[in-house]
Amino acid sequence: MQKNSRIYVAGHKGMVGAAIFRALHKKGYGHLIGLSSRELDLKNQSAVKSFFESEKPEVVIDAAARVGGILANNNYPYPFLMENLMIQNNLIDFSHQYGVEKFIFLGSSCIYPKLAPQPLKEEVLLTGPLEPTNQWYALAKIAGVKACEAIRQQYGRDFVSLMPTNLYGPFDNFDLETSHVLPAMIRKFHEAKINGHQPVRLWGSGTPMREFLHVDDMAEAVVFAMENAFDDNLYNVGTGQDLTIKALAEMIQRVTGHQGEIVWDSSKPDGTPRKLMDVHKMTAAGWTAQINLEEGIKDTYQWFLENIDQIKQVKL
């Protein structure tokens, strides 16, 4: 990979895409391409085709997606399925048609069956039913993984899929209706603290196990995948370590300084009992995560405090 290679990061305004942009810039890549959704609607096939014709990217990193937590997936199943299919299909197909040298597709650990053996190995894909609360997003991402695999198999193209565990970090979504568990907790504990250390009510029992990866680690994994030839098409990206949601809540409570009560609402769904990624393939390829969870949460909370007036949908 040359430092002047034309690298297009789809979704560069989002948390993951922004981190990838920062990592590439830091490593000296000088021809980075990023367009906002207003500048390029990735759901618009003709617009995406025109972009590939004019910009001729040599590398495409697909960090663009409609994302959200359990509540958002439950409430908006059709757009979570269809919009993600439209975005990724346009990017994958035109990358193939216009001879992109390297394509990196980003998905999620939710592509794996709900009750698959832990830790989750890449080969358990499509071996059982999905978690119902995020099946729409998962189905779209599975289609993307298989499209990249098909291109790799049929045409010998360097298309790779990276499946990260739960991501968090600067530029995360802190809206309580659409955010994931970790940023939602940061906001809840912060608001409860500034309102007299009120009790914090959290969904479920607190018993499910989850793994979390700082977005800057994810960005480093993407750059590593871009700079190296991988032997296979699908790789998990994570820390290989998990903790209970209860332990996560207590950690965030400690970082934010909240001193009130935590109340668990067991009438709300827990989701998948456990989602731990087997990261042996990525480790064997030469990459491992570096950022400790508590330090990463401190970093994220500091960013939240510094950007509280500009954070999209914070509505404090």
**258 belongs to an annotated ligand binding site:** no
**121 belongs to an annotated ligand binding site:** no
**197 belongs to an annotated ligand binding site:** no
**109 belongs to an annotated ligand binding site:** yes
Cite the active site residues: 137
Helices (H), the chain: 15-26, 45-55, 70-75, 77-97, 135-155, 181-194, 215-227, 245-256, 280-285, 293-306
**165 belongs to an annotated ligand binding site:** yes
DSSP string, 109-144: GGGS-TTPPSSBPGGGTTSSPPPGGGHHHHHHHHHH
How far apart are alpha carbons 221 and 218 in whole angstroms?
5
**203 belongs to an annotated ligand binding site:** yes
**277 belongs to an annotated ligand binding site:** no
Edge-to-edge order in the sheet of strand 243-244: 243-244, 209-210, 274-275
**167 belongs to an annotated ligand binding site:** yes
Q: Are 296 and 241 in contact (CB under 8 A)?
A: no
In the block, residue with structure tokens 């207590």: 250
**257 belongs to an annotated ligand binding site:** no
Annotated binding site: 11-17, 106-109, 141, 164-167, 180, 188, 203, 210, 270
Annotated binding site for NADP(+): 11-17, 106-109, 141, 164-167, 180
Annotated binding site for substrate: 188, 203, 210, 270
